[in-house]
Amino acid sequence: MKQTLIQNKIRQQLNKGNAITSEMIAELIKDHADMSKRTLGLYERYCVEEHAVPIFNREFTDSGNKINNKMNNDFFKEIIDTKLGYIIGKPVVYNIDKNAYESDEKYKEHYGIISKIALKNNFTDIDAELVKLVSICGHAGREIFVDVNGDIRVMNLKAWETIFLVSPLGEVEYALRYYKDFNDDGEEITRVEFFNDSSVIYFEGAEDAYTMVEEKDHLFGTCPIVLAVNNEECLGDCDNIIPLIDAYDRTLSDISSEIEQFRLAYMYFKGQEPTAEVIESAKQTGGFYVGENGEVGFITKQINDTIVENHLNRLETNILRFGKSVNFTGDDFSGTITGVGMEHKLSALEQKSSVMVTKLTTALRNQFRIIGNVLNLSNIDLDYLDVFFEFKRNIPINKQAEMQANALMVGLVSERTRLSNLSSIGVDDAEYELELMKKEKEELMDSYIGYGTNTNINPEDNLGIENE
C-alpha cells in the first residue's frame, strides 16, 4: 500500500522510539481526509444512497416543464456482487498441512483449534464482508483481539476510518482507527484507537485537539491489524469505469424522459379554434369536429432508436470489459456451454479474482501469524505457515462432465485430493467422505462373513472403494 509523506514521516518517528502524540494523531487524520472521503463515497454508492449517485442529483436550471427522469443502472453494485459471488460464494476453507505433523493427535488438536476460531468468529460471513469492502474501496482491514471471555475474536475495519502505517515489506507496523461518537454530555466527538506492537492507546477529541484517555496492553507481540488490498494500487473494482456508468445513466434517463415527454406533446389545430368548449366536447365525444379545411394532430419528435441502442450497448460492453466482469444472465451464458467456453468467457473475471485471492491469502496468513502469537502463550505451538486457505470458484458446473473428468484422476492423485476437486465437496467434506467410505467398506466386509468359507466372493473386490 502506497504511503503518503506524512504517514512515512510519522512511522519513522515512531520507529525511533518516539511516543504517539495528539499532534501526530491530528496530522494523520487530516492527511487521511481525502482518502476517507473517496472510499466512503464509493461505499455509499454501492449502498445506492441518493447523495452518492450523480444521476439522482441532476437538475436542469431552465427545465420549465421538461421531464427529468433519474434512472440509476446499478452496474457498480452488479460488478461488485458478481465478483463477490464468484470468489466467496463458496466459503473459504481453512485447513492445516497434515504432512507437517508427526502424529495425527497433534494434527487433530490444531485443526480443532482452527475450526473453533473460524466458527466462533463466523469466518464465512466476515470473509465475505471483507471481500466486499476490499472490492469496493480497494482496501480494508481486520483487527484481532481477545474478548472478555479470553476468546480470540476478529473484526473487519473500514477503509474510510482506518489509517495503516505500513513497512516497505508491506507489514502493518502501526494503525489508527477513528470514528464519530458522542460523549456523556451528548456532544459529538471523534474517538481514536492507536495500535502498536504492545498496546492500544485511546484518544478522543474534535478537530485538531485530541486527548489521551487510556492505554491497554495486548498480548500479540505485533500490531494486531491486518491489511487486505484489492491490488497493489489499492483501487476498487469500479474506480476506472465510474464515468462510463454515469454516461449510461444519463443516456437512458434522457431517452426515457424524451419518450415520456411524448405524452405531453403539443396538439395543433388547423382551421379550428381550440377553445375550452371544443376541448371539453372532445373529452365527452372522443373526437373533434373540423370544417372542410380543418385538421387536428400532434407535434412530436422522432427518436432514432438504432443510434440510442448502439450507444447503450457500446457503453455496457465497455463497462463489463474494463470492469473485468460478466453478465451471467446474458445470452452468452444461455443454453449449454462447454467447460472450455466457460473458461474463455470468465477469463477476465478470473484474472481479476486471482489477483485479489493472492492478496487476500497474504492477509489471512498475516491474520494467523498474529493469532499464532497468542496461541503460543498457551503452549499451543501452531505454525501459521502450516495453515492454508482454499478458494473455490462459484460457477455453473456441468455435473456429468465433472464426474467423468474426476473419474480419470483415480490412481493419479490421492483420494482426498480427487474428492476435494468435486464442486460439491470441499477439503473438510473430503475428509468426512473418506471416513464414510472406510466405514462402509468395513460394514460390507463384515456382511460377507456370513457366506462361510466356501464362498467365492472376495470382499476386496468390486466395492467401488480405493484402498488408501
Residues 6+ apart with CB under 8 A from 247: 315
* Confidence band for 467, pLDDT divided at 50, 70 and 90: very low
Whether residue 338 has pLDDT greater than 80: no
Mean pLDDT of all residues in 95-116: 91
pLDDT score recorded for residue 352: 94
Residue that the C-alpha cell 466386509 belongs to: 445
Whether residue 212 has pLDDT greater than 80: yes
Cell numbers that stand for 214 in this block: 487510556
Q: What is the DSSP string of 189-253?
A: EEEEEEE-SSEEEEEEEETTEEEEEEEEE-SSSS--EEEEESSTT---TTTTTHHHHHHHHHHHH
**Nearest 5°: phi and psi at 29?**
-65, -40
Q: Which of 187-196, 251-260, 372-381 has the lowest mean pLDDT?
A: 251-260
Selection from 224, 169, 166, 168 nearest residue 195 by Cα: 224
Whether residue 466 has pLDDT greater than 60: no
Strand partners, 411: none
Better-predicted residue by pLDDT, 346 or 79: 79
Amino acid identity at 285: T
Q: Where are the alpha helices (DSSP H) in 47-160?
A: 75-88, 104-120, 123-137
Selection from 214, 213, 195 nearest residue 205 by Cα: 213
Whether residue 109 has pLDDT greater than 70: yes
pLDDT score recorded for residue 428: 54
Selection from 66, 467, 77 nearest residue 249 by Cα: 77
pLDDT score recorded for residue 337: 63
pLDDT score recorded for residue 269: 79
248-261 confidence digits (pLDDT tens): 999 999 988 887 77
67-102 confidence digits (pLDDT tens): 889 999 999 999 999 999 999 998 999 999 988 988
pLDDT score recorded for residue 107: 92
- This prediction has a pTM of 0.80
The 10 Å Cβ neighbour count of residue 349 is: 22
pLDDT score recorded for residue 318: 96
pLDDT score recorded for residue 446: 72
pLDDT score recorded for residue 197: 96
pLDDT score recorded for residue 463: 45
Whether residue 402 has pLDDT greater than 70: no
pLDDT score recorded for residue 292: 73
Mean pLDDT of all residues in 229-241: 95
Packing angle of the helix pair 22-31, 5-15 (nearest 10 deg): 150
Selection from 157, 40, 133 nearest residue 80 by Cα: 133
* Confidence band for 464, pLDDT divided at 50, 70 and 90: very low
Give the integer Cα–Cα distance in Å for 310 and 425: 44
Give the integer Cα–Cα distance in Å for 156 and 125: 11
Whether residue 447 has pLDDT greater than 60: yes
Q: What is the mean pLDDT of the chain?
A: 86
Q: Which of 109-118, 204-213, 454-463 has the lowest mean pLDDT?
A: 454-463
